[in-house]
Amino acid sequence: MQVEFSKYDYKKSRNRMDSILNNDSEEIILKENKFPLESLLTFTNIITSTVDIIAIDIRKSTELSEALAKNRIKKLTKIYRVYISEVTAVMKGNLNIERIYIEGDGVWAVFKSVKNTNNIPRVFDTASQISAIVETMNVKLRDMNYPFIEVGIGIETGKTYYAKAGYKGVGINAEVWVGNIVNKAFKLCSFANKNKIKEIVVSENVYVKLDEKQQKNLKKYKKENIFHGAVISEQMYKEWLKHNSSSYLSCKSKKTNYCYIPTVENHRKRKWWKLWLGY
């Protein structure tokens, strides 16, 4: 948000703090199974609702930035742009999408929970599509001699609180999520794709709501009460296979859904990347 200069007034600042902290008229509005409209928010109310969260970010983003620093900043910018554009496009494909937020290389989305409906399997499908599109992206990055990216994806569900905060009276404000659900989603995301944990990680609350087939694709992690797996959308894979059979046949693996592709690292070492074939 672009803002204009205004001289800071310490006395007004103290008055603002007092008016917020001493306000006993705040109202909590329950919007269970119905996503709260932003228009309902004021500076004196809090709205609570049950939602589902997907959080995703890039692993080793600092190393990626350092590798493409200075004269390669255009490449780095392209990688971030394609990553954010396609991840958000996949999220928007979920009928229950409500909010998408971008924070650095982190992207997270809020999905509404519909009354008497279990939406978690659909949210998990969205995560598997994100996993697939990232692998698709890596194939294209390989073709252009760009670095690969790896991501972590976390999924959480539960009740959260929704409020407005900011500089009252001058149009500088934002919706904020108060509570643990977003933090929990990012904590799950932080576990993903590290220490032998696969790239999609869900809480127990999410796991018990998945369908049987989805549960079979996940494994419980011994050290934490979480479930993880490398799950890729079958539908997206089948669509790729229809249109790219010649590329598939050129793979060096007989597996039906993966291909091992050699890449040069540091101009000397050769490493094989396990990629989902996608375009």
80 or 31, higher pLDDT: 80
Is residue 14 a part of any domain in this protein? no
Same-domain pairing of 171 and 98: yes
Residues 64/76, Cβ–Cβ less than 8 Å: yes
Mean pLDDT, residues 69-93 taken together: 83
* pLDDT band at residue 240 using 50, 70 and 90 as cut-offs: low
Q: Does residue 262 share a domain with residue 174?
A: no
Same-domain status, 140 and 259: no
Structure tokens of 29? 């509005």
In a domain, residue 158? The reply is yes
Higher pLDDT, 205 or 253: 205
**Residue 44 covered by a domain:** yes
Number of domains in the chain: 2
Query: Are residues 151 and 261 both part of a single domain?
Result: no
Q: Which residue has the higher pLDDT, 33 or 136?
A: 136
Give the domain extent around 274: 244-279
- Considering the domain boundaries, does residue 127 fall inside one? yes
**Taking 70 as the threshold, does the pLDDT of residue 135 lie above it?**
yes
Which token pair is 188? 């799950």
Residues 49 and 104 placed together within one structural domain of the fold: yes
Share of the chain above pLDDT 70, in %: 72
In a domain, 270, yes or no: yes
Residue 183: inside a domain: yes
Q: 271 and 217, same structural domain?
A: no
> What is d(CA 49, CA 60) in angstroms, rounded to the nearest whole number?
34
Co-location of 228 and 248 in the same domain: no
Q: Is pLDDT at 29 greater than 90 in this prediction?
A: no
Tokens, residue 128: 């598997």
- CATH number of the domain encompassing residue 57: 3.30.70.1230
- CA 198/CA 227 separation, integer angstroms: 9
| 137 and 253 part of one domain | no
Q: Which is higher by pLDDT, 44 or 87? A: 87
Tell me if 40 is assigned to some domain: yes
163 and 249 share one domain? no
Domain co-membership, 40 together with 161: yes
- One domain for residues 42 and 82: yes
Q: Are residues 197 and 82 in the same domain?
A: yes
The per-residue pLDDT for range 181-237, each reduced to its tens digit, is 889 999 999 999 888 899 999 999 999 999 999 999 999 998 888 999 988 877 776
Task: Indicate whether 77 belongs to any domain.
Answer: yes
